[in-house]
Every structure is written in C-alpha cells, then in structure tokens.
Structure 1
Amino acid sequence: MKTRREIVYEASKGYKKLSKKEKTERLDNLVAITGYNRDHASRLLSQHDRCVYVKDVSGRSYRLVGDVRKKEKRSRKRKYDTEVFKALKQIWAIMDYPCGKRLAPCMSWLVPKLEAFGEIKIEQEVREKLLTISASTIDRLLKGEKKKMALKSRKSTKPGTLLKNQIEVRTFADWNRAKVGFMEMDLVSHEGGNPRGDFAFSLTLTDVCSGWTENRAVKNRAQKWTFEAIDIIKKRLPFSIKGLDSDNDSTFINHHMLHYCEENHITFTRSRAGNKNDGCYVEQKNWSIVRRTVGYARYDTDEEVDILNQIYDVLRLYVNMFQPVAKLISKERQGAKVKKIYDTPKTPCHRLLESPDVPEEVKAQLQKTFDELNPAALKREIDRLLKELTKAYLKKKTEVEQIDRELIFT
C-alpha cells in the first residue's frame, strides 16, 4: 500500500497542468500499474496539492494541502467493548478454553443456561452481542489469552503379536460413522517419564458417531483392571456397544479380549501397525481430555488412581454434555493443499438426541440431565479434584525423596 501511494505521488506531479489527452494517458498508466478503480485513481490525482483554507473559532486562518502519501486513519467505535470481552473470557474459561469455531454455535443455549444458574450477570446489550458473536471475532478477542501451554507427549504402547491374524484390521475409513455404538479404545500411560515398575493408565473409549467419551483410571495394564474398567464404562453409556477397535497393544490383542467381545456380541477390530490415524478419534481424546486435564506426571499409588477416577466421574458429564465437537464431513485436495469441511460443532449429548439409534426414553433422560447440570459448577469441581491430585502427588514425591536421602546416609 505504501508503494502504491508513492507511485500516485509521482504521477500526480504536474497533473493539473497537463492537457486532457495527457491526463488520460497518465491516468491509464496509473490504473494499469496500481489496479485501482479508474474513478478512485482520478480522484487521487486531482486531490494532490489541492489547497483548502479554513478558520478556527478565533478567526485564525489555516491552509491545508492535500498529500496522497498520507492516509487518513478511520475511526470507528468498537462493537465488542470491554464488557463483552470480560463476559466472553469468563464463558471461555468455564467451557475449558475452546476455539471460536466450537464456542460460537453454543452461545444460543450456553449464555441463557449460565444466566439461569447465576454464573454470569450481564446487561441486555452485552447479552445480545454474545448471542450473535462470530467464531472469528471470538478468536480475535481472545488472541492475547491463548498463548499458553505446549505439552510434550510420550508413548508407552507395547505391540502384541498374539492373535493378530484372527482379529480383523480396520482403517480410518471403515467405520460406519453414522451409527451410534462403534467405539475406539486406547490406554494413556501416566509414567511421568519413568517407565520402570507399575504405574497408572487411563482407559479411553470414544464413540465414532457422537464423540461420546468415557475414561477410567486403572492401576496397571493387567487384564483384571482393564476388564473391570470396561464393565464400569459399559454400564454408564447411554447406548450399547456394537463394536470396539484398538491399536496393536498387547493389553487388547489377546484371547481374553477376543473372548469378551464374542460373549457380548461386540465386533472386535484392530488398526494397522504404525498407523495412528486409524484410531484418530480416540487419539484426539487422549490429548484433549486426558492430557489436558491431568498432564504427564507419574501416578502410581492407589490414592492417585482413586482421585483420577473421581475426576473422570465429573469430567464425563462436563465433556459429553457441554463440550462441542466438530466432525469432519469431507476433504478436498486443491493442488498441494487439502481443504477440510466440518459440520456445525455440537456436544456429544446433542448428537445423541438427534440420532435415530437412541431410544426415546434414553433421550428424555439425557435431556433431563443436561437441563439440571451447571457447567461452571462441574468445572469448579474438576479444578478442586485436580488440586487434591496435585497434593497427593507432591506428598508422595516428598516421601520418596525422604526415603532416598535415608538410603544415601545409611
């Protein structure tokens, strides 16, 4: 833009003294170089060096000279002021800091719900702005608040070779994503960078169609705890499990899991070795739910496992009832770029309410639970339990350090 203004400045020198034919030629050249509209370019050339005389209230005269190199700053009153930003920031924190594309579609039911529970108190003007705010405006207003936290991932999956040939391989595109009940499962380790000895794992099950996710902490990878966790999750689900898909971890690829699925009439499949995208739905939840909530510390005591499960008991309601999820509809390649098209973000609860696979009595119970729950209260309870988990971890760490010191000096 600055270069264009310099070009106009050079072209405007002596423009007023040229003949009509010369003015036309110079105007044609300027339009060709800058790409300006012809009327706009003509106005710029004619306004340069134009003089205007004005007087102030005291009668003093001033001579104003036009200069195309200087651009007038436009002043416009901000639509989304400080009050809107404060309310938006509070709502954003209650919803666990989602992006604008996930948060904007929820405003229609989220703002009235938080007002009804007395979590936010806003004026009518602010309320109307929040109900009509766009996703891009949310991201722009919260840009300064988002530059935080980048955690490093770790992997502790051990490949299982047993029964691989008997368990069908499923790729990313094979699931029927329009039918509720087909789930991906995975284990998230809590070894804290030290893979020696026993430590806790979080079992994650995610429904491909709705995004409904359940988590359960187990003491270790033993079959006893894994099946116990699956049974607890199975009883909590608002739908029946039709299919289970896992990676090639030996915790899942074994006779016990195959027999369990056959007894319960569950389709059991596995992903291809080395292809994490085959389990993309559960892998994404491993990060967005487990890692973002409880982090990467080492949890290996019964107390820590108990607190983890208390967190997951509350977190399942917070995530499935109030956290919107955007589903990929299609991908279109345009040269070297891939354009991804997503649907309107909805919570797993709302997706189940719209699904024909869920019975009406289950939908009624889901709607009742949604109406009764306060997302801000759930968030506060999660934060309180996280503080308890931190205390338990620090207490254990102190005791271990004390034992180490005693061993050194004995």
Structure 2
Amino acid sequence: MSLTEKRAYLEAIRRRYQQASRGNKSKILDEFCAVCGYNRKYAIRILKKRRAKKRAKPGPKRWYDPAMLLEPLKAIWLATDQMCSKRLKVALKEWLPHYEKEHGDLDDVARFRLYGISPATIDRLLKPLRIDHPTKGLSGTKPGRLLKNQIPIRTDNWDITQPGFMEVDTVAHCGNSLAGDFVWSLTMTDILTAWTENRATWNKGATGVIAKIKNIEKSLPFTLLGCDCDNGSEFLNHHLIRYLMKRGAPVQFTRSRAYHKNDNAHVEQKNWTHVRHLFG
C-alpha cells in the first residue's frame, strides 16, 4: 500500500474514529493497523489528530487598491497617448505632479503606490479600459504583389548617422467603412531626427501619392536619402520606383515585411500622434 493510499484511507476513517464509542474505536483501530501495518500507538496518535489545514502558498500580498489608483492612472494614460506600461511607469514621475495640480492632491498612500507600481500591475488595471479606447484603426493597405521582388526588405534600421532616411505610410479617414472615395493622410518621418511631414491626398492612387511625396521632399531641411514603406500598392508601383531610383542621385528604396508593423515603428507612432489622435 503506497503512502498516498495510506493517507487517503486515514482521512476516510479519521472522523468516524473520533466520533465512535470506545468499543468501536478499538475495532476501527484493529482494522487500520492490519491494513496499513502501523504500530498501534502510532495509529492512535495520528487518528486523534485533527486534519491539518492547507497553508496558502507564500507570495507577495497585493498592496494596492485598484479604486484608489485607477482614476489618476487612467487620466495620465490617456494624456500620454496610451503609453505602454513600461514607458508609463517611468512617465508617472513626470506626470503625477501635473495631475495633482489639475485635479487636487492625492493622499500620501495613493501617491506612494503610484510611484512604486509595476508595469504588470498597470497592465492589469488598464486591461478593461483598452477595450473602450482602441488605438488601431481600419487598415487600408493592399499588397502590391507585382513589384515586391524588385524592392528589398529592410528588417532593421539603417546605420543612421545623418538625416534623410525616412519611413512613409498612409492613414485612411473613412469612418467605419473603406468603401467609396475619401481623404488619406500621407506621413513621412525621418528616423534620426523624427522630423515629420504630413499631407492629405484624395484617395491613394499613385499619381496623388507621388505628388505629395514630391511636395514633402521640397520642404525638407535635408536631402532625401532613403525611403522605406509598407507593402501597400500606393508605394509598390512603377511610378514611385522611377521617381525615387531613376534620378541622378537615387534614393534608397526599401519595404518592410508584411504584417510586421514594428519594421516601420517610427512612422506608425507618428500616424497615431500626428494623424489619428487629431483627426480620427
């Protein structure tokens, strides 16, 4: 009989033994010793014991009150354009004094908790709010399949030492449907300096997009040296290839991997702060 089976048998008869009369206890004890092979004195001792309560697993106690922290945390999170939790933890030290000036002083406990809050706790508290405050809009990117092989993929940033290497993307202003004609925003962001230019174009045909890129290039305080785009057909077309690469000083033209938005993280961030946050 295994130890586990003996323990299970002990738990099964313990209560019956403790409630039995003197004579019945002797019979139960005889049976228990015969089945498990225990010494009689030892068997009496363990049968008399009360069942041990399970101890809770050790771990950190929750030292924050969600209701106390959620209101200031939500206000600062929205004011910082819905920062990720790791960045928001650092930003709290800068933003909390301004929050208190606007909304009144927090008590010492709440302030102490907010300064010491972890990114994981921030994520837990803000999880319900992220559903009501989505940051992702409709995607209007349609792949330009024919020219993918002619335009190399850039999977990491150039070894940037000077301005001029830019990321480009478009944002649709279409409401809840991509059907029909509407305005698109064209955004170009320099990787080194974060210099950003925005233009509006009706639809996103190659002619209109190239006209806006030309207009942006004329207004740049530096020379355009590189252009990195997603896989949308507004960029992967012969017209833009000719404009960027068939010139005296060709512009380095690359594209990101499909479904890897972080490849164009700089312009994606500006799409939110400079376009979606202002115009929807």
Q: Give the TM-score normalised by the residue count of structure 2.
A: 0.59
CA contact under 8 A between 2:141 and 2:232: conserved in structure 1?
Answer: no
Instruction: Give the structure 1 partner of residue 106 of structure 2.
Output: 122
Query: For residues 147 and 126 of structure 1, do their structure 2 counterparts lie closer, same or farther at Cα, with a shift above 3 Å needed?
Result: same
Are 1:316 and 2:274 matched, yes or no?
Answer: yes
Instruction: Give the structure 2 partner of residue 282 of structure 1.
Output: 264
Are 1:92 and 2:59 matched, yes or no?
Answer: no
- Matched length: 247
Query: For residues 247 and 145 of structure 1, do their structure 2 counterparts lie closer, same or farther at Cα, with a shift above 3 Å needed?
Result: closer
Gaps of at least 5 residues in structure 1 are: 27-45, 51-65, 294-314, 320-378, 387-410
Query: For residues 271 and 127 of structure 1, do their structure 2 counterparts lie closer, same or farther at Cα, with a shift above 3 Å needed?
Result: same
CA distance in 1, matches of 2:170, 2:87: 26
Are 1:219 and 2:177 matched, yes or no?
Answer: no
CA drift of 1:133 comes to: 1.0
1:146 match: secondary structure: helix
RMSD: 5.1
CA contact under 8 A between 2:167 and 2:264: conserved in structure 1?
Answer: yes
How do 1:161-176 and structure 2 match up within 5 A? 168-173=151-156, 175-176=157-158
Instruction: Give the structure 2 partner of residue 143 of structure 1.
Output: 127
CA contact under 8 A between 1:168 and 1:270: conserved in structure 2?
Answer: yes
Instruction: Give the structure 2 partner of residue 202 of structure 1.
Output: 185
CA distance in 2, matches of 1:105, 1:242: 35
CA drift of 1:172 comes to: 1.8
CA distance in 1, matches of 2:138, 2:57: 47
Range with bigger deviation, 200-209 or 136-145: 200-209
CA distance in 2, matches of 1:156, 1:146: 24
Query: For residues 267 and 144 of structure 1, do their structure 2 counterparts lie closer, same or farther at Cα, with a shift above 3 Å needed?
Result: same
Are 1:83 and 2:68 matched, yes or no?
Answer: yes
CA distance in 2, matches of 1:226, 1:255: 8
Query: For residues 155 and 90 of structure 1, do their structure 2 counterparts lie closer, same or farther at Cα, with a shift above 3 Å needed?
Result: closer
Gaps of at least 5 residues in structure 2 are: 15-28
CA drift of 1:204 comes to: 3.1
1:282 match: secondary structure: helix
Q: 1:101 aligns with which of 81, 86, 96?
A: 86
Are 1:67 and 2:25 matched, yes or no?
Answer: no
How do 1:291-330 and structure 2 match up within 5 A? 315-316=273-274
CA distance in 1, matches of 2:155, 2:138: 22
CA offset digits 1:114-153 (Å, max 9, x no partner) = 446x366423432232122110111222333334477784
Query: For residues 154 and 225 of structure 1, do their structure 2 counterparts lie closer, same or farther at Cα, with a shift above 3 Å needed?
Result: closer
Query: For residues 143 and 259 of structure 1, do their structure 2 counterparts lie closer, same or farther at Cα, with a shift above 3 Å needed?
Result: closer
1:142 match: secondary structure: helix
Are 1:188 and 2:146 matched, yes or no?
Answer: no
2:52 match: secondary structure: coil
Paired-residue identity, %: 25
CA drift of 1:92 comes to: 2.0
Structure with the greater alpha carbon radius of gyration: 2
